[in-house]
Homo-oligomer: A and B are copies of this chain.
């Protein structure tokens, strides 16, 4: 079955994925002489850098997501289809999806990355990940469900396990989540559960090598660790998680953790789709592209964002899997596709590193600019300003701002409704067979 798209004399560009890269590309193509079909498994764009605030109740999901159909509403000859792409047929120029097949003239893979468990199925089964809005809402529900459950058990070890949150991976996601959980502990859980001893709540951040935020400066790592420790987070460095059976984390040292909640942020991998030559796929399932984001070995197939691995001298493993390279690659590819269609020479991609930052909590952030590194209150304001203005849509900006002001003044988080229960089972009943 073919996906119905009105026929057009213009060349059809099919974009898979409405993340930072896909949307940035789409915006560049809006008034060009092409037909564009955007396919995504969600009907919304997710502002991933703030997912951790959804998971910890600081923001509602709707504030950091934006309807894709609304973004492309005014773009002529643009179509959106809600679907999951299963395979690519580069021979006949078709994508095969769960809603049918679609012919393309140019194909752009912008479908991002997914959590990497490095092959450990047991960890994958028992731990949470936080790459999407539904996953973030699951984490939020689970945190609250754990506390409700802790109230019901008599055994202290079991009760403490419900209040022990282990975050594996000390990158920006793990660090920001750890800080937000610590603030959630003080702002909400302390007050909402007066009949529990909240001092027994533990937040463990487990990092495999010698420093957290190891993609940032030494200064940022040190400051972030200081901030986290001050908030009560236990930072474990040079500790590698070996397994998690749903009950106990084992590591490469004597350290073990009894925990009902493990959030895995220790790795990402490309979400490569079957159908490309195996030599164009890297070990971490990204797609090898040249300096025009053209997939190695294909003329009309491109990849941008997390999924694209453009191996350069400065980035032998490809660019970092973050918003900035995705946005910049998407925008340039928009220009390049038009050039290519017109038979002009494409421009090569140059990554403009604007720096990176992470927030740890109230008045606490670290910022690495190319020539200037700082932390503390000012960094926190910079972080907020940059994130607020990067959100799509006036209303999302306004609502997020209102929430941040409210949360700041009131030391509160209102997103603590268990609307979609995640799981409710006795901790002692956890077995490795359960999914």
- For A134, A398, A414, the residue with the greatest tally of chain B CB atoms inside 10 Å of its CB is A414
Question: What chain B residues lie within 8 Å of A279 (beta carbons)?
Answer: none
From A58-66, A269-277, A346-354, give the one contacting chain B.
A58-66
Question: What chain B residues lie within 8 Å of A137 (beta carbons)?
Answer: 419
Tell me whether A433 is interfacial, beta carbon within 8 Å. no
Contact A414-B62, Cβ < 8 Å, known A395-B406, A419-B134? yes
Question: What chain B residues lie within 8 Å of A5 (beta carbons)?
Answer: 195
B43 near A82: Cβ-Cβ < 8 Å:
no
Copies of this chain? 2
Closest to A3 in B: B152
Interface range, A side = 35 or more
Tell me whether A99 is interfacial, beta carbon within 8 Å. yes
Chain A 202-217 per-residue mask, 1 if CB under 8 angstroms from chain B, else 0: 0000000000000000
Tell me whether A299 is interfacial, beta carbon within 8 Å. no
A4 near B134: Cβ-Cβ < 8 Å:
no
Contact of A195 among B6, B191, B402, B419 (CB under 8 A): B6
* 8 closest residue pairs by CB, A with B: A69-B192, A44-B417, A60-B62, A82-B148, A67-B416, A43-B418, A395-B406, A65-B417
Beyond the given A43-B148, A43-B418, A44-B419, could you list 19 further A-B residue pairs with CB under 8 A, ordered by the A residue number?
Answer: A3-B152, A4-B151, A4-B154, A5-B195, A42-B418, A43-B417, A60-B60, A62-B415, A65-B417, A66-B414, A70-B191, A70-B416, A82-B148, A82-B418, A99-B152, A100-B152, A133-B417, A134-B419, A395-B414
